[in-house]
Each structure stands twice: as structure tokens, then as C-alpha cells.
Structure 1
């Protein structure tokens, strides 16, 4: 028995140490999504600053021919919008007289998101599988080819997530169409009768399915499938063919019926809108009229900012429920940057530079697009339940400063709103009268919601845990992590959180002498730790929400105790005294 008990104690020790010796924190989302329905002075101030900063940018002479539409939406409604009409327009074809939320742009590669959504819908319906190879749905790829693309190894999933390894383009991006004198680049003069006779090779005549298939069957891969990310437009043109073959509809008709009409995007289409609503940048508006033909699935949509806000609301509320095959906003592969990843088909950026005074990262799930005269981007920030649309027509340099100004200021303000709402909803002292048990919760921008005092049957848990396992008390913390689940999921009652045990090593405790050990950045997630009598040891549930949004009780699952929240103010006062000492 002693040996058994010793083994058990060692196992528990190793389990806890494996958690708490990590130098990293449990990062976002470390809070439930904020509630934007009650108004927010934090956001109001941010939007005023954003408008001022944007006005300074657009007042520059280089942007006289440029227009933009910007919208910010929550999962429920548009929170803010801003529009700018170019002051220098083509007198013969000016386009929309005044840019607003109903003004149309070519959104270019944002179209890929709609193509992938169609594929996910058909996977959920059982009409195709993401893990089947492309040649199962495009039979022409089974025939003879002079190239050596391994179609039987290229799945729909790899195509949708930029992991197919196939080339980028087949009818665009060829310098033979753009250089009057190839010798400038050291290139020899050449005639190429074997090239396609459409798109940039043929005065922008729309390309057909047969022309595309004939050309790509001559291509070689860049990488083996699923080896390395590389951006491919061809991948999404093939997915468009899959949708057409599986549904029996034209690709454009399927997207219109199953997504645009269903979501309520009434001003988005593959058909060219009238000039009355068109954003037509001076001197570079020619691409507005181009029919992309078989290349529509990679970049053919026209859309408005208001419609894209509607779509982002759909994404924010459905991204994890479209199909059990994946969470749509998760990354699937690395891009070239440490902070950048590819999704399906998203471009995902994760940075810790947004929230000043904190190393908590923010994840921006984006899809950008570019065509002559147009640069566009949609951004989803899932932990804050926010979506951003930025559409520009004119100088392509305008989008980058707009993205920086809007996204950074917005998230900083939303984080302030989070702090206020969490303090109002959760923080305070919870206790019970019949046993000596209490729980004190506080929130800071850097640490999130954490347990700052905890008595269980008279035991000071924040002292006994580090003492038992020889951990420094001053760097030991219990951070709370929302699960976004409930004990009663049907009635959304009993909001479930987990405790994450964190031990932040101080510089003096480093085992190596270098200032920033390399492996300090290596962190894995392990939130579910141990049980007590079959119940999770680190689970708690907030219960009994009052009319003002404050939780009145908290239940510690494994400890079989429910604690009641003290009147507002008492705990805050006590905490201030403690901090002063």
C-alpha cells in the first residue's frame, strides 16, 4: 500500500509540475465575448480617434483618386462604418456619386471564402468529402497529362487550405504579356503558340473549363501535397468545378442560391453591378468589366461593405457549426512568418503587439484580395466577436494604413470593454456561511480573470498548493479560462470555467544563463488536469445571473460547494487595502 500511495503521490506531483512549470500563460480567449448591445464609451472614443486618423491619411494628395468603405460589426449588428469618395474621378465614367455601404467593389480573392463555404456545406450534406482526392470529382484529371501533378494525392482539404503544392496561376501573371522588351529582365524574345488564348493571353476573353483543364494538365508541382503552404488560385478554380459537378448547378448559381440568398447578401453577385453603385477608380477602372469565367471561384465576386458585414455576422455565429470536419477559423499550416498561418482558406495573423502592457496575443483571421484598381480585406477576430471589412478602390497603398488604424484601435478599445464587463459580471468575493470557504476573483489586462484568495474548509489553497509542491508562492497563480459551455447547455445555465495553474519563472530561476532561453516560448495546452471523486478538480460554474448582468453565485464542482457573491464594493475595498500593504 505504501508503494502504491508513493507512486500515486509522484504521479500527482509530476502532473502538477508539468502544468505549473511552464513559463507561458494561458492566452486568449481568456474571457467570454463582450456584450456590445449596451453601448460602449470605450468603443465610441476609439471610433472618434479612428475617424481623425483616417482623415489625415485620405487628405494626402496621392489618395485623391481613391475611395474606401469600412465597416465594423459584432456578431449581431454593425457597430460603426466610414466611407470616403474620391475627389478626383473620371468625368466620363465616374461611378457612384457618393460612396456608402451599398457601393460595390470587386472583392477579388475574398471570393475564395465563399467557394470554401460551399465545399463545407456539401461535405456536411454528405455529397463530397474534404479528404477525397480532386480526381474523384473532376474526372478529366484522370486522363492523359504531359505534366506530373499528383491529382490522386491532392485532396479537397489540401486545395482549400493552400497545401496542394500546385502552381499559383495558369492564365495570369505571365511577363510575356506585360513586357515590351523582355531583355530588360535578361529574358530572351519568345513566341509561345501553346499558351492559352484567354484572359491576359487573349485580351481578357473569359477562360473556359476546357482551356483551364488542358493547361493545368501540363503543369508540374511546386511541392508534394501537404508538405508546404504555397498560394494557389488554380486550387479554388478546381473547387468551383467540384461544386458544379456535385450539385449539378453552375458554380455561380450554387453560390448565389446556397450562400448569398440564404445569408441575405442582396447586393453581392458575379454579375457586374450598374455604374450607379460602382466604385470606379480613375484610370484603372477597366477591370470592372472583366468577366473571369472559369476563374470566378478564385476572385469573381462584386460586393458591398454592408453585405460583407452581414456575411461576417454569419461567420462569427456559425464558424464551428458548419461541419464537424473542422473549426473553420483554425489554422491548418504555417506561412513564412512566425506569426502567420494559413487557414481554409484564411490568412491568419497572431500578434502580441496590440494590447499594450500585456503579452496576450490577438488572432486576426483574414482574407485579402487584389485586382487592378482594388484592394480588399475582411477580418474576423473571434475572441472579441468582431468583424472588419475594408474595401478600397484606387491607390493600393491605402489599404495598409486603414487596416492598421482600424484593427489596432478597435481591439484595444474592445479589451477595455472586456475588462469593465468582467469586473461587473464576475469579480468580487464569493463565500458561504456554513463552512469556512470563500473565493476572491479579480481581473487585470495582463492576467485576465484569476483567483486572488481561496479558502476551502479553512485551508488557504493559494498557499498549500505551492507549499506542497515546493513552488514559489509569489509566482504561482490560478487563472480562469472560459469554456463557452454551460452545465445546462439547452437553457444556457451554469457558465463553465476552468482553473489554469500558472507558474511564471523569474529570471533568477532560469536554469541557463542566456537572457531569453529559446524554449521559454514552447507552450502546450492542458486545461483538464485531475479529478476528485469523478468530478473535474479545476472546474467552476457561475450561476444565478441578476438583471444587471452580475452573477450571484459560483459553484466549485469537485469541492461540492456553492458560494454567494458579497455586496458590491466590500471586496474591492479589501483588495485595495491589501495592495497598499
Structure 2
């Protein structure tokens, strides 16, 4: 992972974006060679086994501009769409399942004056057994580390129709469970019965805050907490805190019964989970439309759900997984793919929440580095396999396109020579195959700052190099100023040593200040037409003008 202009994988970029995200003009669909248009998208998947049975809708935006919108429907799914009017699909309700978990956590975050993130759940659901739940915090429930199991009574084979314990070699015991919540559409447990389940020792969460374990019952508890602090039903809390403020007029928890307005199973043989979820509403009960889900996803990316700092805190990972490319948030499923068609190979954070139950599958996706928002919904007997194909098929080319546009715009906006003949100062910026921008020359008052600063950081190189990376998202672009940071490259041996410990770029910034001002910070000044006119070097108290 040592530096090399010919192999970008040998750089150690700092955390965060490599370049500013691109701006994109309003277009209906991306070019065919970058992202498939409607007809080729269909052609690509017509041979797949899931295609004949699956209705799906995809929308994507870059920087708030919708760049792709495509839908495909199968009348055999029970959906009624006028011939040729596929656009109607975007306004039809579908079950988004476990994406509901993100809505439930958002409601908790919007209730920070009423619910403390690090408080015990027993503070808000005092009927819970103190010994069993005193160490279970709101954060642990939201981040899948509470220790609670996936389900309560639901899916227990002793009460699930068609299940026979003896088929698994299990003994027949003289015990029974309450005849409630065994499956969606069955009798819903009363509040007393639900709390009795949580307070039964068999369901106690072992070792909270140990490792992530996917749990639906954790979010059901968060739903109870929300209902308790607002003194109203959970569904009403969600409507008032999220659906109405975000203009999600076609989202809620009531199961639709009209195929003219929703995607529903065509026959009883289609075993879709369309009945009411009852106590599992906080975990997966929302019905929404592709348009509403896309609007919510864009609002998340645009900091319209929470202030920027709170949004960034919410999107942080909370736990790691055995895979080097997956992390868990609250409740995010964060992927870090490296097989993307981008110039500078590095992990890109793809922050998602998925939903998947029989008959329905969905994804809400954001890629903060490129300001990408994506919503995908699918319905049908093979909705799950369809979503597994549609996710990478959408994300990968969209990131490649955004990366290409970002590099093109950076080339036009920043690259060039900034200088001052009076102070014998020069600052030359270039774009190559590495991350960020290459800083080719950095001299002030005749001093070769590249060499002097490298020496100050104990970087032993005869010809030290450095790169520029965007920083300070809150202030970037305000008053025509954009703050970037300089990171000096360091020699890395082999693959970076044990656990790539030599690539510790997060620990290499802001090592020298002068009278309180960091010397690795520069500010680009942007003109009225979006062009960069000059660069300010705050530590040296000087500005250099860009050559035409």
C-alpha cells in the first residue's frame, strides 16, 4: 500500500470522501453505456427465473436530481396497472417490511427530549423485569446488540400451522404457548400477553452489548417505548413524527385490500405476508409506495430528517461482522464493496436498510460520498432473489457514473496552477488515478513546503508527495469557500503490514499548527459561476490566484 502514481491501491486516503460529489443536470435516464435504460434493463433480466413473477420499481438520484426511474410489473401478482402506464406503479402501496426499523429508530431520535439514547429500556417500559433488562439500552435495541432473539412467539414451531416438532426429532411436551402472534394474521397478543413473553426467562436477552444479532423483538420494544412516552398508539406517533412532516401521504400500517392501489397476492396460493403485523408493526409493518420510500431516502441524504451532525452520527456503524465488507448500524446494513468500477480503488460506504418477507422485498440506499439515493421495491413469489440481483445491478453502475462525473467536474473546477509572483509562491494541483487531488508543487516564499512538512512529520523520502481531500462538510460551499486538507503520502511496505497497520491515515492529519492555524488546511475560493478563482493558505496568511 505504498504510494505510486500508477497504482492507486497503494495510497492510504483519509476517512471520508475522495472528491466532492458531482452535480447532475435533470435527465430521464443515464446513458446506455453507463446505466441501462428501460428496454435494456428488461432485456438484461428476462432470462432470470424470478423475472416472470416479479413486479419491481427503482428510483435513483444524485444530489437530489432523479437520474433513473424504471418499473416492471407482472399482472399475475394481483396488481392492476393500465396497459402502458407503468408509471402508476410508483404510487401503489407495497410492504417495505424491515425498512420499518429505520423509521422506528428515527422516531426515537426525534424524541430525544423524551427518550435518552443510552438509557435502559426499563425507564420507558417499567413493566419489564429489571434483572433481565436493566442493561439493555435504547442504543443496543436500535443497533441489534440487545441480545434479544429474532422473534417471540412468532415462528415457534409448536404453534406454527404445518409444523411438526417430531419431524426434527423433538419430544412432544406437555407445554403450550399463548395462541397469539404465532404468524402474521393470527390473533394479536394483548399488551399484557406481550409483556409476559418478554418477562419469561426463556426470552431474556443474554449478554447485552456483545455481538450483533438480528432481532425483530428489539424494535417492538422501541415501539412500546414510543407509545408510552407519547401516550398514544405507535402508528399515530409515526404518522405525526414522520409520515405527515415528510409528505408521505401513502404510507401507514393499515393493510390495503384494493389491488387498484396496492400490490397484493393474486391467489391464496401465493403465501405473501400481507396481513396486519400487529405487535410487529415497529419491526416491519409499514406499507408505502415506491415514490414515498424514495422521498424518505432522499430526505435522509439531504439532512431533512435530522440536522446534518445528527444524521452523520446516526449513519455511523455500531458493530462489525465477520465479513471485511459489512458493518452494522442502528439499524443500518453497511456494505463496503471494493469491486466497483472507479478510478481509485477503495471501499465505498453503501448505507442500506433492507426489507424482506414472503412476497415483498425492498431496499433504501444512500451513498454519502456521491450524494446518491436509491429506493428499490419488489413484489412477487420470487421478490427475494430479484432484490439480490437488482441491488448490485443498480448500485455498481450508478457509483461508476457518479465517480466519472465527479472526476470530470473536479478536473474543470480545481486543477491548475495557483501562484503569486510577488511572494515566489506556487501551488499546482493535478488529477491522476489516485484518490483526491495530487499536489504537485507547494512552495511559499521560495520554500519547498512539500519537503519541509514531510521532514516535520518524519517522512523519509527524497521526493515527498501529497494529496488534497475535501473536508468540513458543514461549511463547504458557504460564502464561496471550500475547505480541503492536505495529506502527505508515506512509504508503505508490502501490503501494509499486520492488519495494514501502516495505513493509519486517520492519525496523520493536523500534526502542525502555526499560531493556532493547522498547516494542512487550504481553502478554495469559488466564483459566482462555480469556478475556483484562488486558493487560500491560512497557515501562511496568503492567497494564490489561479492561472487562466
Matched, 1:128 2:110: no
Post-superposition offset of 1:390 = 1.1
Within the alignment, does 1:342 sit opposite 2:322 as a pair? no
Q: Secondary structure at the match of 1:406?
A: helix
**Distance apart, 1:334 and its partner CA:** 1.3
* 8 Å Cα contact 2:18-2:436 kept in structure 1: yes
Structure 1 residue 520 displacement after superposition: 2.0
Residues in 1 aligned to 2:174 and 2:360: alpha-carbon distance in whole angstroms: 32
Alignment of 1:520 with 2:508, yes or no, is: no
CA distance change for structure 1 residues 324 and 412 in 2, over 3 Å: closer, same or farther? closer
Tell me how far apart the structure 2 counterparts of residues 524 and 331 of structure 1 sit (CA, whole Å): 19
- Structure having the higher Rg: 1
Query: Which is helix-richer, 1 or 2?
Result: 1
1:444–1:51 CA distance, 2 compared to 1 (3 A):
farther
| Cα-to-partner distance string for 1:283-321 (whole Å, 9 max, x where unaligned) | 565545411112110000001111111101210122662
1:19 corresponds to: none
Does 2:284 match 1:299? Answer: yes
Deviations 1:529-556 (A, max 9, x none): 2101221111111114241x21101100
Q: How many angstroms apart in 1 are the aligned matches of 2:444 and 2:527?
A: 24
Q: Do 1:272 and 1:302's aligned partners in 2 also have CA atoms closer than 8 Å?
A: yes
Q: Does 1:249 align with 2:232?
A: yes
State the Cα deviation string for residues 358-400 of structure 1 (Å, max 9, x = none). 3222101111111111111111111111111111111021111
Following superposition of structure 1 onto structure 2, how do residues 96-245 of structure 1 map, counting pairs within 5 Å?
96=81, 98=86, 100-123=89-112, 126-142=113-129, 150-176=132-158, 177=160, 179-190=162-173, 192-193=175-176, 195-200=177-182, 204-218=186-200, 219-221=202-204, 223-245=206-228
Q: CA deviation at 1:453?
A: 1.4
Question: In the aligned structure 2, how far is the partner of 1:40 from the partner of 1:33?
Answer: 20
SS in 2 for 1:440: strand
Moved more, 407-416 or 242-251: 242-251
Contact 2:55 2:72 in 1 (8 A): yes
**What is the RMSD of the two structures over their aligned residues, measured on CA atoms?**
2.7
C-alpha distance in structure 2 between counterparts of 1:362 and 1:465, whole Å: 30
User: Aligned partners of 1:58, 1:423: CA distance in 2, in Å?
Assistant: 39
Q: Which residue of 2 aligns with 1:276?
A: 260
**8 Å Cα contact 1:367-1:379 kept in structure 2:** yes
Distance 1:84 1:74 in 2: 22
SS at structure 2 position matched to 1:492: helix
Gaps of 5+ in 2: 1-9
| 1:476-522 deviation digits (Å, cap 9, x = unpaired) | 323333222438x8x53321111112214254xxxxxxx77333255
Shift of 1:222: 5.2
- 1:391 paired with 2:371, answer no
Go from structure 1 to structure 2 and tell me whether the alpha carbon gap of 1:544 and 1:43 turns closer, same or farther (over 3 Å shift).
same
Alpha-carbon distance, 1:86 to partner: 1.2
The structure-2 alpha-carbon separation of the partners of 1:323 and 1:211, relative to structure 1 and needing over 3 Å to count, comes to: farther
> Following TM superposition, by how much is the alpha carbon of 1:51 offset from its aligned partner in structure 2, in angstroms?
5.8
Distance 2:419 2:136 in 1: 58
Separation (CA, whole Å) in 1 of partners of 2:167 and 2:360:
28
2:361 maps to which residue? 375
Alignment of 1:79 with 2:67, yes or no, is yes
In structure 2, the residue matched to 1:265 is: 248
Match of 2:538 among 540, 557, 574: 557
Instruction: Give the paired residue count.
Output: 525
TM-score by length of 2: 0.88
What do residues 3-55 of structure 1 show as CA deviations (whole Å, max 9, x unaligned)? Answer: xxxxxxxxxxxxxxxxxxx9733254122222124669976642336862453
Indicate how the Cα distance of structure 1 residues 288 and 229 shifts in structure 2: closer, same or farther if over 3 A, else same. Answer: closer
Q: Are 1:316 and 2:316 counterparts?
A: no
Q: 1:432 corresponds to which residue?
A: 420
Contact 1:320 1:326 in 2 (8 A): no
Q: Is the 8 A contact 1:431 1:565 kept in 2?
A: yes
Give me the whole-angstrom Cα distance separating, in 2, the residues matched to 1:47 and 1:72: 11
| Inter-partner Cα distance in structure 2 for 1:50 and 1:27 | 36
Q: Which secondary structure state, in structure 2, belongs to the residue aligned with residue 187 of structure 1? A: coil
Secondary structure at the counterpart of residue 188 of structure 2: coil
Instruction: Please say if residues 96 and 286 of structure 2, whose CA atoms lie closer than 8 Å, have aligned partners that are also in contact.
Output: yes
